Structure 1
């Protein structure tokens, strides 16, 4: 029994977020010939509607490549896209590996179809151009809008922030007549991404101050808190901790509950600023947790000298039914490395793929090299490194070189330092570390020669400094 086009369309809209059903309905549409035009004058609009709905459906189930493929099929079958087609296609293009090769041809198609005056289409192209790093194209589309809405303004603002042009972002932000929570959060995010952490804190303070003065009715949301807490965690010294505590107090006073993601940010903040006790209290007080919350507390325990507690927390996580991800294993393997728990660390590493379906990446292999190296198994660490499915990066070689210094392995240290030099010829770290290895082995001649070679090559060790922050 053939279903009518109306019934198929209803099914598509009903199961638009269901991967299995969408693919089944797609197959039926192909079999029934609903994705071609038997009579252009009667069915063209229906076929376009089918394609638009399928495009949105595949975007919903996180298959942007299939979404773009559908668009090419649409064009090859002479099915005319309309203003409802391009926002979804532009969003799929931003998920592509390199949207730079898609933005201009897609814009040309929109121009050809006469839909560029539609504000939704224009806003989608601002996003796409911004994602591809083409701020000139994004600004051109924005300037062509007759009456840009707050969503379009936020898209342009986010484009400046994502591409590191904070000067233009701030000027644009100040020029906006209406600002919502997304506007404020975009600027804060931009500062964090560009490592201007005090800028993020200042914009949050200004947002709160205007709210209290009645000049701004915008209330910070979860994304705002996550962004500014990240800025506090990465700020140098105790200033970040001081501001973080104030923001924590504001959240407790003004929010009904601390969400899992805000709680995760608080754990990271306290974990990076020697506030382990506060981090544990936050973790214990959260009514709802996510995998990232467990990752944060495991990493915090590991980085604060509580490696065995970190492993206990990992066991508790599994007992409570949470499935660890790649980030979890980095935190757990780091804990094993710092506590020199070689057997446990190797067992956990070997369980990643068969038990949890997590494919080990460079970071995980680096943790195992660090684990073996710290424990003095230098030959095993080198052998493990040579058996990796990819070439070691600077972090892995650096971990092995550090282990060579720790255990006075001069010969292996020289070998690893040469490999590291090939990867980072302009970095002075490997020279300093190798020189220290020579010095620790009382090989002063080689240590002196290496220091002279650094000076002759123009390398300078970055000067150390200390800071005193007055609260």
Structure 2
């Protein structure tokens, strides 16, 4: 069979790159390579891996190939490549490892690492960096990524250091991540952003802002990249009190002053930050200047409106979102159901819950069922609420039963409250709030003996009611 020339391979690579975003064209080119025999050329040829590498890279960027079940197209191509006898090279594995990361397949990452070791490529800088990243993003212990890092040839470069820092953050080993960051010989915007994002994701939002302030001092006038702005806005959104809002507004001012384009990614973070702090006017204004809104941007707006007494506005915006041709997802429907529950729109909420499953084929989670139970319970429709719980495809957790317990207290349904209380005590035996609610239901019903007995049960079990606390913020210092 005639061997393909380097020029034809270069043309193939350019052609595939031009059609990355067109799944149909990528599959057509794939079929052409199969039928023309290019993929069946001499497997011993040093260039035999090239067409496979080009196709793997194209399928990685092809939207139709991103589904993790069945195995992604790049991994299926690799299996075909091995079956043919073509030898993968150092350019094969980075794309394959990215595919394993995208699918979240820890098994695939481990199998690819074994292939790298077998072929003597694991210590290659390019391959090792991809291995570190794949281990971090597929749920492997941080020690696996660290082992690859330590076995790299020569001194690891900045890209490898950033990959390990990201792996440590993703594994939740923030102490190790902080120590590694401090010991890095060089840092760039990716390094700082990775640590800020990792700390925020781990719930250390104030520490994330401190690191961000260190980054500002270190960068001294350099423009902040979008990923950094998104990470710090996420930390601001989840930090209670004035500090989070103050820093978030400063970031917004930076975006305006430097004319940073509000993409869907950055715009969603800004809308979410204002929404979490209850600044609905700013939230709506920020939404209005996002260049191109995506579903995630609408979700941030709908959640903010539903959570801050703007239920009717949330439903109006939901209609506007659908009118633009965007398909709602699980987060969208959660915001819609919350709006219906808080506004007491029972029939509207039930309609959208059914449409979510039947029309939009969105699988309900526990929180969706909890909203429906809360919706029915607050309307006093306990029989229907119990029926929803019984028909759930999984056992109801404490949040669902807790929603129904709150409705029982609202309507004085003592008998059902006691029954639910028994379930909750077995699910969350140390949760003082459930015991207090049941005790108060007894007392409000005039059953003083049962109420006093509930207090004795709490004392015998060593359960103490949590003491309420409040604080004010003076000059960025929380004062109890």
TM over 0.5: yes
1:50 alignment counterpart: 51
Find the partner of 1:126 among 123, 128, 132: 132
Matched, 1:108 2:122: no
Matched, 1:199 2:207: yes
Matched, 1:460 2:445: no
Deviation at 1:290, TM superposition (A): 2.2
Find the partner of 1:262 among 249, 266, 290: 266
Matched, 1:443 2:450: no
Greater shift after overlay, 316-325 or 192-201? 316-325
Contact 1:270 1:276 in 2 (8 A): yes
Find the partner of 2:142 among 135, 141, 148: 135
What is the correspondence of 1:22-421 to structure 2 with a 5 Å cutoff?
22-31=26-35, 34-36=38-40, 39-41=42-44, 44-61=45-62, 62-63=66-67, 65-66=71-72, 67-99=74-106, 101-131=107-137, 132-145=139-152, 146-212=154-220, 217=222, 219-421=223-425
Deviation at 1:335, TM superposition (A): 0.5
Question: d(CA) in 2 for partners of 1:245 and 1:141?
Answer: 41
Question: d(CA) in 2 for partners of 1:435 and 1:380?
Answer: 25
SS of 1:469's partner is strand
Question: d(CA) in 2 for partners of 1:79 and 1:201?
Answer: 50
Relative to structure 1, the CA distance from residue 286 to residue 106 in structure 2 (aligned partners, 3 Å threshold; closer, same or farther) is closer
Deviation at 1:408, TM superposition (A): 1.5
Relative to structure 1, the CA distance from residue 411 to residue 175 in structure 2 (aligned partners, 3 Å threshold; closer, same or farther) is same
Question: d(CA) in 1 for partners of 2:47 and 2:17?
Answer: 14
Contact 2:43 2:85 in 1 (8 A): no
Greater shift after overlay, 6-15 or 163-172? 6-15
Relative to structure 1, the CA distance from residue 26 to residue 321 in structure 2 (aligned partners, 3 Å threshold; closer, same or farther) is closer
Contact 2:245 2:274 in 1 (8 A): yes
Deviation at 1:31, TM superposition (A): 4.9
Deviation at 1:470, TM superposition (A): 0.4
- TM normalised by structure 2 equals 0.88
Relative to structure 1, the CA distance from residue 326 to residue 31 in structure 2 (aligned partners, 3 Å threshold; closer, same or farther) is same
Structure 2 alignment gaps of length 5 or more: 476-480
Question: d(CA) in 2 for partners of 1:188 and 1:106?
Answer: 30
Contact 2:56 2:77 in 1 (8 A): yes
Deviation at 1:157, TM superposition (A): 0.9
Deviation at 1:161, TM superposition (A): 1.3
Question: d(CA) in 2 for partners of 1:30 and 1:413?
Answer: 66
Relative to structure 1, the CA distance from residue 31 to residue 424 in structure 2 (aligned partners, 3 Å threshold; closer, same or farther) is farther
Contact 1:342 1:375 in 2 (8 A): yes
Question: d(CA) in 2 for partners of 1:371 and 1:446?
Answer: 29
Q: Deviations over 1:372-425 (max 9, x none)?
A: 112221221111221223332332222112211221212222222333344334
Contact 1:237 1:467 in 2 (8 A): no
Relative to structure 1, the CA distance from residue 92 to residue 261 in structure 2 (aligned partners, 3 Å threshold; closer, same or farther) is closer
- TM normalised by structure 1 equals 0.89
Greater shift after overlay, 78-87 or 420-429? 420-429
Question: d(CA) in 1 for partners of 2:39 and 2:97?
Answer: 21
Deviation at 1:16, TM superposition (A): 4.3
Question: d(CA) in 1 for partners of 2:357 and 2:438?
Answer: 36
Deviation at 1:229, TM superposition (A): 1.5
Relative to structure 1, the CA distance from residue 13 to residue 63 in structure 2 (aligned partners, 3 Å threshold; closer, same or farther) is farther
Deviation at 1:198, TM superposition (A): 0.6
Question: d(CA) in 1 for partners of 2:109 and 2:141?
Answer: 9
Contact 1:373 1:404 in 2 (8 A): yes
Relative to structure 1, the CA distance from residue 160 to residue 313 in structure 2 (aligned partners, 3 Å threshold; closer, same or farther) is same
Question: d(CA) in 2 for partners of 1:74 and 1:446?
Answer: 72
Greater shift after overlay, 459-468 or 301-310? 459-468
Q: Deviations over 1:163-209 (max 9, x none)?
A: 12222222222222322211111011011011111111111122223
Structure 1 alignment gaps of length 5 or more: none
Relative to structure 1, the CA distance from residue 393 to residue 27 in structure 2 (aligned partners, 3 Å threshold; closer, same or farther) is farther
Q: How many residues align?
A: 462
